A = this chain, B = another copy of it.
């Protein structure tokens, strides 16, 4: 049977988020960024990152430009992309996980499922409230702190 209602930060999601933070940081420049560059900056295997960006593109979160001087850029402003958008797109690629989660064969099963859904929704609400822009700002704030240690 194997129903699964998963809330899980895998490498996959983390890689995707790192890449999108990188794209967000350079969003204002308006020029595409190459996979290689992102991979080097965030220490992600480039061949793997390519697949993740492809999924993000199909989901409409990023746009790509082929050919020389090509690369990737955000499809919309970084404050209009929530963390939930990213994770759902990456993790729920098959996406039927939620669909086939609906034949508990006992009353107890239904009760458990309901409680679990509440818990997942609590987490999702929090992830929905944070955008890529927020991540970039938090990152910059921490970098600032690190620099101050040098003075």
Contacts and interface: CB of A to CB of B under 8 A. Distances in A.
B14 A142 contact: no
Contacts of A122: 122-123, 125-126
Number of identical monomers bound together in the oligomeric complex: 2
Interface stretch (A28-36, A51-59, A68-76, A101-109): A101-109
A84 to B, nearest CB: 9
A111 B135 contact: yes
Contact residues on A (Cβ < 8 Å of other chain), bracket: 35 or more
A101 to B, nearest CB: 9
Contacts of A22: 108
A88 interface: no
Contacts of A96: none
14 contacts: A2-B10, A3-B10, A3-B11, A4-B8, A5-B8, A5-B9, A6-B7, A18-B108, A108-B135, A110-B142, A115-B135, A119-B123, A119-B124, A122-B126
Given A6-B10, A8-B8, A118-B126, 13 more contacts: A4-B8, A4-B9, A4-B10, A4-B14, A5-B8, A6-B7, A7-B120, A18-B108, A21-B112, A42-B108, A107-B142, A114-B138, A115-B135
The 9 tightest CB contacts between A and B, nearest first, are A123-B123, A119-B123, A7-B7, A6-B8, A122-B122, A119-B126, A111-B138, A5-B9, A9-B116
